[in-house]
Amino acid sequence: MKDMEFIRNLAKLINEESLDVIEIKEEGKYSIRMEKHAVQQVMAMPSVAAMPKETHQTDKEQTEVAAKEGVIIYSPMVGVFYEAASPGAKPYVSVGSRVKEGDILCILEAMKLMNELVSEQNGTIAEIFVKNEEVVEYNQPLFRIVTEDE
């Protein structure tokens, strides 16, 4: 039953590594394809508008970001930045998008949980500092929003 033990180890690997697909083909013997599609959990994020501006950026980079008009939205956690709900889907926002308080800006994945980051003001997305699927640090600038008051 070496084959069954091999399959059990593959199933264990999927659970431990959160992989969606493992495909193994052995010429003339077998073909195995395993998939795991986890249910995404989404929860609202805490307030991020008033976060301090400590990041891994240099002082010069921080000054340049802060000098531009608008409100900087910082990452409230370490995680993976997703611009859309799923691969191939339309991004929640792009540069020039108008947002209202409560609109979803992105999803941050942390510890296998999908967390929505929502806007806390009305305005226009002036800048997006990160790319889709990029790992972000706590307090890293993600967006610059020019509010309607500015």
Mean pLDDT over residues 13-36, rounded?
68
pLDDT at 116: 94
In a shared domain, residues 140 and 107: yes
Residue 63 host element (H or E): helix 59-67
Q: Is the pLDDT reported for residue 42 higher than 70?
A: no
Residue 106: name the closest of 115, 97, 98 by CA: 115
Residue 7 CA to residue 31 CA, distance in Å, equals 11
Q: Tell which wins on pLDDT, 65 or 28.
A: 28
| Cα–Cα distance, 53 to 63 (Å, whole number) | 10
89 in the same domain as 125: yes
Does 14 lie in the same domain as 58? no
Contact 105, 117 (CB under 8 A): yes
In this structure, the answer to whether residues 65 and 19 fall within a common structural domain is: no
| CATH code of 80's domain | 2.40.50.100
Number of domains in the chain: 2
Separation between Cα atoms, residue 72 and residue 146, nearest integer Å: 9
- How far is it, in rounded angstroms, from Cα 21 to Cα 70? 42
Query: For residue 72, what are the domain limits?
Result: 42-147
pTM to 2 decimal places: 0.56
Instruction: Please check whether residues 58 and 85 belong to one and the same domain.
Output: yes
Asked if residue 113 and residue 54 are part of one domain, the reply reads yes
Q: Each residue of 49-70: pLDDT tens digit?
A: 444 444 455 555 555 555 568 8
Q: What is the mean pLDDT of residues 83-105?
A: 95
- Cα separation, 91 vs 70, in Å, equals 21
Clarify whether residues 104 and 64 are in a common domain: yes
pLDDT at 4 over 90: no
Give the pLDDT band (50/70/90) at residue 37. low
